[in-house]
Amino acid sequence: MNKQIHAYTSITANYLPKARVLAESVKRVDPGVQFHLILSDNLPIGFNLASEPFDSVIFAEQLVVDDFPRWAFGHSVVELCTAVKGVALEYIFSQYDAQQIFYFDPDMVIFSRLDELQAALSERSIVLTPHLTDPETTDIGILDNEVASLLHGVFNLGFVGVRNCSEGRRFARWWAQRLLKYCHDDLARGLFTDQKWVNLAPCFFENVGILRSPAFNVATWNLTNRTATGSLEKGIEVNGEPLGFYHFSGFDSGDQIVMLQRYGQASPVLYELRDWYIAECERHGQSVLGSLLSKYSCFSDGQLIHRDYRVLYRHRMDLQIAFPNPFLISGKNCFRAWFDAHPAEHPPSGAVQISMGAPIGEIMADMARQLTVRLNGVRGRANFKRLFLILCIKTFRLGAWFLGRGSRV
């Protein structure tokens, strides 16, 4: 067993079925790769590492040991799973003497060509895959894909490979530091979790490799220039090359099927691949685990944490000092009670920012909060308007309760 090659992914417990499918695919292609599960959550009941495809489970609390509750509260569930990717990279280097480390998003599946990734990384300090490798030729493709890349980052950080060399370790330190402090979905400030930071990687670091093969990191956003052929049984090819790995991004939100129908009509095998993936996730417990509520999605009494709570807290050092564990609910002496009692301190209300990576329940909770602000501003005899807003607020709150159980878009 080659213990020098390592891979990892980062999840909350509701993504465990997908992570299992990913880890099994890595082991199937190269059994010698050591696979680590980074978990920002509790382990679900019945989890037994000995029967899992993972070689270790590393908890977020092991990676961010200083004031973890303060730090974690300032992140949505998606931001949190992303923010620990850099420190996890450094941890695996230091604890396991890894020579090469590959990160894969949990909604990926590896089909072949891991040896090519390893060979590419043996000659580079970092390897990345861009969202797009060919220009779009239609306005809808430009808007869907090129503009989205400009907005969310040139490289898709569902994949990154880093070698244990001076430049690779320097990148790991830099990336870890940036993500610990600035891993937020805040497009107004030019941030989209970890992705936009790595736009700078070719500027800051030597020997960065950009993998342009159409068969790596295949996803609905790059199907305009990639055609899949073959079958699951005989093998799938993309533009004539064996499929390396496929990215099922946007699966839970429904975006994956919408974009597949828009751009994948010339690749019917991808519908077969989608059906296979649904069955594999179900085999690994999707129906049971997929709706688990993340440990860090809620206050200690189970109430979902709205975005406004997190944003204000992470920007106010006085609140962080006054409430070192903002998750805890203890009468009036807790952060939530303070927040609710000081509406004038709340973040400015504007348009709701709907992120491609936000949990559905968080989006609906944000909508409810925004409409509540509007409701408070309705004066006079506007009874119909008030009733309509109240109905909408209750609908969004109910939706947040049903759909906000930790699911990631």
Q: What is the pLDDT of residues 99-122, one digit of tens each?
A: 999 999 999 999 999 999 999 999
d(CA 28, CA 49): 18
Q: Two tokens at 243?
A: 């499929």
302: number of Cβ within 10 Å: 9
Average pLDDT, the chain: 89
**Model pTM?**
0.84
Q: Can you give the residue ranges of every domain in the chain?
A: 5-289, 307-403
pLDDT above 80 (res 130): yes
344: number of Cβ within 10 Å: 4
pLDDT above 90 (res 385): no
Q: What is the pLDDT of residues 299-310, one digit of tens each?
A: 999 999 999 999
pLDDT of residue 371: 72
CATH architecture of 5-289: Alpha-Beta Complex (3.90)
Per the model's pLDDT, the better-predicted residue between 252 and 22 turns out to be 22
Residue 331 host element (H or E): none
DSSP-derived secondary structure letter, 196? G
Which of 203-207, 305-309, 348-352, 384-388 shows the lowest per-residue confidence on average (mean pLDDT)? 348-352
Which residue, chain included where needed, has tokens 């998003």?
105
Q: Two tokens at 200?
A: 């700078």
User: How many residues in total does the chain contain?
Assistant: 409
Q: For residue 393, name the pLDDT band (cuts at 50, 70, 90).
A: confident
d(CA 280, CA 261): 21
Pairing of strands 34-39, 5-11: parallel
d(CA 317, CA 378): 33
Q: What is the distance between the terminal CA atoms of the chain, rounded to a whole angstrom?
A: 36
pLDDT of residue 205: 98
Q: Two tokens at 319?
A: 């609140």
Exposed e or buried b for every residue in 93-125, given b needs 16+ CB within 10 A?
Answer: beebebbbbbbbbbbbbbbbbbeebbebbeebb
CA distances from 260 to 218, 267, 287 (A): 12, 9, 23
Q: For residue 234, name the pLDDT band (cuts at 50, 70, 90).
A: very high
d(CA 237, CA 232): 10
Mean pLDDT, residues 177-199 taken together: 92
Q: For residue 61, name the pLDDT band (cuts at 50, 70, 90).
A: very high
pLDDT of residue 351: 47
Per the model's pLDDT, the better-predicted residue between 255 and 112 turns out to be 112
- 147 close to 141: Cβ distance less than 8 angstroms: no
Per the model's pLDDT, the better-predicted residue between 165 and 399 turns out to be 165
pLDDT of residue 407: 37
pLDDT above 80 (res 381): no
d(CA 284, CA 251): 16
Q: What is the pLDDT of residues 325-351, one digit of tens each?
A: 999 998 888 999 999 999 888 877 544
Q: Two tokens at 389?
A: 């807003």
Residue percentage of the chain with pLDDT more than 70: 89
Q: Two tokens at 386?
A: 């008030």
pLDDT of residue 405: 41
Provide the residue type at 159 as one letter.
F
DSSP-derived secondary structure letter, 345? G
Question: Which residues in 105-234 belong to E strands, given as ranges?
Answer: 108-110, 126-128, 159-163, 185-186, 191-192, 208-210, 228-231
Mean pLDDT, residues 309-313 taken together: 95
3-state DSSP assignment of residue 212: coil
Q: What is the pLDDT of residues 66-87, one digit of tens each?
A: 899 999 999 999 999 999 999 9
d(CA 92, CA 118): 17
Q: What is the pLDDT of residues 23-53, one digit of tens each?
A: 999 999 999 999 999 999 999 999 999 999 9
CA distances from 36 to 68, 96, 103, 229 (A): 21, 11, 10, 32
Question: Where do the H-state alpha helices sit in 52-200?
Answer: 60-63, 68-73, 77-83, 85-96, 114-122, 139-141, 147-152, 166-182
Question: Where do the H-state alpha helices sit in 284-316?
Answer: 286-289, 307-315
H helix and E strand count, the chain: 18, 14
d(CA 327, CA 333): 12
